[in-house]
């Protein structure tokens, strides 16, 4: 793996950490590596009860009756709750983040396999699960629709007949770009290539499943909720709006989170049920889902059936792109995404290319599957968009008999075109695309790889080289395009420097493994010259942190990272005034220096005279007479409303070998050049990229949630839903270019989802390049040995429908 060394000039703290940006071990690892993390399932409250959910065995069935008598009589059971109980509290349905509703417990029908039907609160989870078996539900099975392409057929059963007057399974139509202009460009095109492709349904499968402990204190009326969630403040507001509990009487605590990947953005029925359970019993109630519940009932990602067409000149200048998408949202439109558009950032489907016209149309449909979020390192539909355009460019290269790297270099946006307004109206902030691709080609030794491939092909060996280039728009914020249920996307941030010069930074974003406790301390360290170990990062507790909408869409660094920088800069400015008063000089005579002793305001031309931030902190809290209008203490707060998204990008190259006899794919090399602007902590960024590359390899080759014709989910355990391990992943070769964002105070762009977005097309392009001698144009993910082998025989599989 290639690495980036810290700049030698970065001063270091006594503990050896860089005072500012640079490689430093993660502060949180001291507890994680010792097994001392504190997760929701570790929460034990006095008198706490446990619970379990009864789920539907059918994908579609009418509920005739539910008999809970035997379950309620089981010793140790405290409450059995059904949809009818909830209906009495007006809580049988809850709003989703896409302005749809979702059943908390089914009342009329079940609409996907494993939907929530009843809830038991008992002394222990074991008793609760025993009680589930005593609940008798009389179901009338109904035909299920699991094939999105059949969901709009006139004879398809209507899934959402809870909505008066609904006669079909259509959710929305949405389009972007200029249809007329695109048609004109296609009419004039010398070459047009069209391909249908599926980005299959996948699941984020975090190590820790979802869960919650809810306690409604009957005396104070305060609801405390411990939950595995990526957006505690948004959850608090939604609980207040939905349950009618005053917001100041709700405290959401997200302790350590064992991976989110988008799975922990939304509110699941189990969370609401734990709250209801606590209200009903007057005791704290815990609900933790098991692995199968997590895989089968919480938010999925993708499930996009896409037909792309790309137009170009004979010599390879891309002129137009159009795409028609059928989006499978499952039984409830639970899409968790902050854009005001139903298809989120699919806008970015023109990718990184300079073209004349583009148009896309997305139609959403209901099916009898679990509600699809857009979770799983999705950047809210950028993932599907990048996959589409990168497959289309490869197909065009094939059609034109051009090298796919050269075709990309010919069409990538050029540095002088930035800021660039895309054909769908988004302003890409900065980019130097050809530089990144050329660096990836150089690390890969691209020309030699092509020679090796030609030699191997001559011997009948199958080797593939796949490229992808991606641009993401991350940092959900700009008001024009975004909100969540009417809430704006600005992030609050507070910084307190204590009298002795250590500090606490309070953030609204919520780490799930991204290392925020380290990188945000490093931002403050850089701006204030404090050792990063002296800056404690506090997050995940709505009573103790300012409002903000949480961590997803790689928005933390673009939004809260900017807030942290600005709040520290405000303190530095105030510190200058205090230092000037203490030194009896004018503030203009002071200059800022970061020394081994930390950040210091010192007299220009007389560096002996100065005050460190720690000294200034004591003075600010002490007896020093502060100038007129300057308050004591060294605290500040800020609310940062980002003017635009940030647009990180990258160039990936994947080398695969395919076994001609079995279709087995081996990823031999993976080269990833990422540009997320300056890197706060290069080690953490590389860790994010490593994780994302493994994700991408898994999705491209192994991961799949498929359904049989009756709507049974075939992917409900790790025996069926295969996650990549070290065995499937090569030792990654990373590179870096740095193109700062012009509007972020530190030039930073997000990176948390980059590799998950960018890698699947590189792997797929590589495998399809390997088996090109068989005349295969396209095969859908996952490229399992069976699927690859079938493609080599000329019949690639329809991967989303399981044959049982």
Residues near ligand MCN, by CB under 6 A: 206, 259-262, 377, 512-516, 519, 551-557, 676-677, 679-681, 684-685, 688, 691, 748-753
Q: Which residues contact 591 (CB under 8 A, 6 or more apart)?
A: 601, 602, 603, 604
When CB distances are held under 5 to 8 angstroms depending on the partner's kind, the choice from ligand MCN, ligand CUN, none that residue 466 binds is none
On the 0-12 / 13-18 / 19+ scale of CB atoms within 10 A, 747 is: middle
Whether the Cβ atoms of residue 651 and residue 563 lie closer than 8 Å to each other = no
**Min separation Cβ 511 and ligand MCN, Å:** 7
State the first-to-last Cα distance of the chain, in angstroms, to the nearest integer. 43
- Among 200, 260, 475, 663, which residue interacts with ligand CUN (rule: CB under 6 A)? 260
Q: Which residues contact 797 (CB under 8 A, 6 or more apart)?
A: 779, 780, 786, 787, 790, 791
In the bound state, the residue with its beta carbon closest to ligand CUN is 262
Using alpha carbons, select from 279, 229, 207 the residue that is nearest to residue 249: 279
When CB distances are held under 5 to 8 angstroms depending on the partner's kind, the choice from ligand CUN, ligand MCN, none that residue 688 binds is ligand MCN
Beta bridge partners of 79: 121
Binding mask 548-587 for ligand CUN (x = CB under 6 A): ----xx----------------------------------
CA distances from 218 to 158, 222, 724 (A): 43, 8, 47
Q: Which residues contact 721 (CB under 8 A, 6 or more apart)?
A: 203, 205, 295, 703, 704, 705, 715
**Min separation Cβ 337 and ligand CUN, Å:** 7
The answer to whether residue 509 forms part of the interface with ligand CUN (CB under 6 A) is no
- Phi and psi dihedrals of 250, rounded to 5? -120, 130
Taking the C-alpha atoms of residue 101 and residue 371, their distance in angstroms, rounded to an integer, is 11
When CB distances are held under 5 to 8 angstroms depending on the partner's kind, the choice from ligand CUN, ligand MCN, none that residue 265 binds is ligand CUN
Stretch that binds ligand CUN, among 160-168, 368-376, 585-593, 643-651 (CB under 6 A): 368-376
On the 0-12 / 13-18 / 19+ scale of CB atoms within 10 A, 377 is: buried
When CB distances are held under 5 to 8 angstroms depending on the partner's kind, the choice from ligand MCN, ligand CUN, none that residue 374 binds is ligand CUN
Taking the C-alpha atoms of residue 610 and residue 593, their distance in angstroms, rounded to an integer, is 10
When CB distances are held under 5 to 8 angstroms depending on the partner's kind, the choice from ligand CUN, ligand MCN, none that residue 679 binds is ligand MCN
**Min separation Cβ 520 and ligand MCN, Å:** 7
**Min separation Cβ 744 and ligand MCN, Å:** 9
Closer CB to ligand CUN, residue 355 or residue 781?
781
- Among 112, 239, 376, 601, which residue interacts with ligand CUN (rule: CB under 6 A)? 376
- Among 22, 177, 211, 262, which residue interacts with ligand CUN (rule: CB under 6 A)? 262
Binding mask 191-230 for ligand CUN (x = CB under 6 A): ---------------------------------------x
Taking the C-alpha atoms of residue 684 and residue 690, their distance in angstroms, rounded to an integer, is 10
Closer CB to ligand MCN, residue 360 or residue 509?
509
**How many residues bind to ligand CUN according to rule CB under 6 A?**
14
Asked whether the CA dihedral 295, 301, 305, 307 is positive or negative, the reply is negative
When CB distances are held under 5 to 8 angstroms depending on the partner's kind, the choice from ligand CUN, ligand MCN, none that residue 715 binds is none
Closer CB to ligand CUN, residue 53 or residue 755?
755
Using alpha carbons, select from 317, 311, 320 the residue that is nearest to residue 177: 320
When CB distances are held under 5 to 8 angstroms depending on the partner's kind, the choice from ligand CUN, ligand MCN, none that residue 127 binds is none
Count other Cβ atoms within 10 Å, centred on residue 16. 10
**Min separation Cβ 344 and ligand CUN, Å:** 9
Angle between helices 433-444 and 446-458 (to 10 degrees): 50
Taking the C-alpha atoms of residue 79 and residue 84, their distance in angstroms, rounded to an integer, is 14
Whether the Cβ atoms of residue 715 and residue 704 lie closer than 8 Å to each other = yes
Stretch that binds ligand CUN, among 162-170, 254-262, 351-359, 581-589 (CB under 6 A): 254-262
When CB distances are held under 5 to 8 angstroms depending on the partner's kind, the choice from ligand MCN, ligand CUN, none that residue 556 binds is ligand MCN
Site residues for ligand CUN, window 741-760 (CB under 6 A)?
753
**Min separation Cβ 532 and ligand MCN, Å:** 12
Q: Which residues contact 558 (CB under 8 A, 6 or more apart)?
A: 474, 475, 477, 642, 645, 646, 741, 744, 748, 749, 750
Enumerate binding residues for ligand CUN (CB under 6 A).
230, 260-262, 265, 374-378, 380, 552-553, 753
């Amino acid at each position: 793996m290639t690495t980036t060394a810290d700049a030698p000039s970065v001063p270091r703290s006594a503990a050896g950490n860089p005072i500012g940006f640079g490689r430093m071990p993660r502060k949180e690892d001291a507890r994680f590596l010792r097994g001392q993390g504190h997760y929701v399932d570790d929460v034990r409250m006095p008198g706490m009860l446990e619970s379990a959910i009864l789920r539907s065995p059918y994908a579609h069935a009418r509920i005739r009756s539910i008999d809970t008598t035997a379950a309620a009589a089981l010793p140790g059971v405290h409450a059995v709750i059904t949809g009818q109980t909830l209906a009495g509290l007006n809580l049988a349905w809850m709003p989703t983040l896409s302005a749809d509703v979702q059943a908390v417990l089914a009342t009329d029908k079940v609409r996907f396999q494993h939907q929530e039907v009843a809830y038991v609160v008992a002394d222990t989870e074991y008793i609760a699960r025993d009680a589930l078996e005593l609940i008798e539900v009389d179901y009338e099975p109904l035909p299920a629709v699991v094939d999105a392409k059949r969901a709009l057929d006139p004879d398809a059963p209507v899934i959402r007949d809870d909505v008066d007057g609904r006669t079909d399974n259509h959710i929305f139509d949405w389009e972007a770009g200029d249809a007329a202009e695109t048609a004109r460009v296609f009419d004039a095109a010398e070459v047009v290539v069209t391909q249908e492709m599926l980005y299959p349904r996948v699941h984020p499968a975090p190590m820790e499943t979802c869960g919650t402990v809810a306690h409604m204190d009957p005396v104070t009326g305060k609801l405390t909720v411990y939950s595995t969630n990526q957006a505690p403040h948004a959850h608090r507001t939604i609980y207040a709006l939905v349950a009618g509990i005053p917001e100041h009487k709700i405290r959401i605590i997200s302790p350590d989170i064992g991976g989110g990947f988008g799975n922990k953005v939304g509110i699941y029925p189990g969370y609401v049920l734990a709250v209801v359970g606590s209200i009903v019993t007057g005791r704290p109630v815990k609900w933790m889902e098991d692995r199968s519940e997590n895989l089968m009932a919480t938010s999925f990602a993708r499930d996009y059936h896409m037909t792309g067409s790309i137009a170009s000149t004979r010599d390879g200048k891309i002129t137009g792109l159009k795409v028609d998408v059928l989006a499978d949202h499952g039984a409830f439109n639970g899409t968790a995404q902050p854009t005001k558009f139903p298809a989120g950032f699919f806008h970015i489907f023109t990718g990184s290319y300079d073209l004349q016209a583009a148009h896309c149309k997305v139609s959403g449909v209901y099916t009898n599957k679990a509600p699809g979020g857009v979770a799983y390192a999705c950047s809210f539909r950028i993932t599907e968009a990048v996959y589409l355009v990168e497959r289309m460019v490869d197909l065009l290269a094939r059609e034109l008999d051009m090298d796919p790297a050269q075709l990309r270099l010919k069409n990538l946006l050029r540095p002088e075109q930035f800021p660039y307004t895309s054909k769908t109206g988004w302003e890409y902030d900065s980019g130097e695309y050809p530089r990144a691709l050329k660096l990836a080609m150089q690390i890969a030794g691209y020309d030699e790889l092509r020679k090796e491939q030609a030699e191997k092909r001559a011997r009948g060996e199958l080797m593939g080289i796949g490229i992808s280039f991606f641009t993401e728009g991350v940092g959900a914020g700009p008001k024009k395009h975004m909100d969540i249920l009417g809430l704006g996307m600005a992030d609050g941030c507070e910084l307190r420097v204590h009298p002795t010069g250590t500090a606490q930074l309070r953030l609204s974003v919520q780490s799930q493994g991204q290392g925020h406790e380290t990188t945000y301390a490093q931002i403050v360290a850089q701006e204030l010259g404090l050792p990063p170990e002296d800056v404690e990062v506090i997050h995940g507790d709505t009573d103790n942190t300012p409002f903000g909408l949480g961590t997803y869409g790689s928005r933390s660094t673009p939004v809260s990272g900017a807030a942290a920088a600005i709040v520290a800069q405000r303190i530095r400015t105030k510190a200058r005034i205090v230092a000037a008063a203490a030194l009896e000089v004018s503030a203009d005579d002071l200059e800022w220096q970061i020394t081994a002793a930390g950040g210091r305001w010192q007299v220009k031309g007389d560096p002996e005279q100065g005050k460190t931030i720690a000294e200034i902190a004591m003075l600010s809290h002490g007896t020093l007479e502060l100038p007129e209008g300057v308050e004591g203490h060294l605290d500040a707060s800020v609310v940062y409303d980002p003017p635009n998204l940030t647009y990180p990008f990258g160039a990936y190259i994947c080398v695969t070998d395919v076994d001609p006899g079995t279709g087995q794919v081996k990823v031999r090399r993976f080269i990833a050049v990422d540009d997320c602007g300056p890197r706060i902590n290069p080690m953490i960024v590389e860790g994010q990229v490593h994780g994302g590359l493994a994700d991408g390899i898994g999705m491209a080759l192994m991961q799949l949630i498929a359904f049989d014709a009756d709507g049974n989910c075939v992917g409900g355990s790790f025996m069926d839903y295969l996650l990549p391990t070290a065995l499937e992943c090569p030792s990654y070769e990373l590179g870096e270019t740095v193109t700062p964002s012009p509007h972020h105070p530190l030039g930073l762009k997000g990176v948390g989802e980059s590799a998950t977005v960018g890698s699947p097309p590189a792997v797929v392009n590589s495998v399809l390049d390997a088996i090109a001698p068989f005349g295969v144009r396209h095969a859908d993910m996952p490229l399992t040995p069976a699927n690859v082998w079938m493609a080599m025989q000329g019949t690639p599989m329809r991967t989303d429908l399981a044959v049982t």
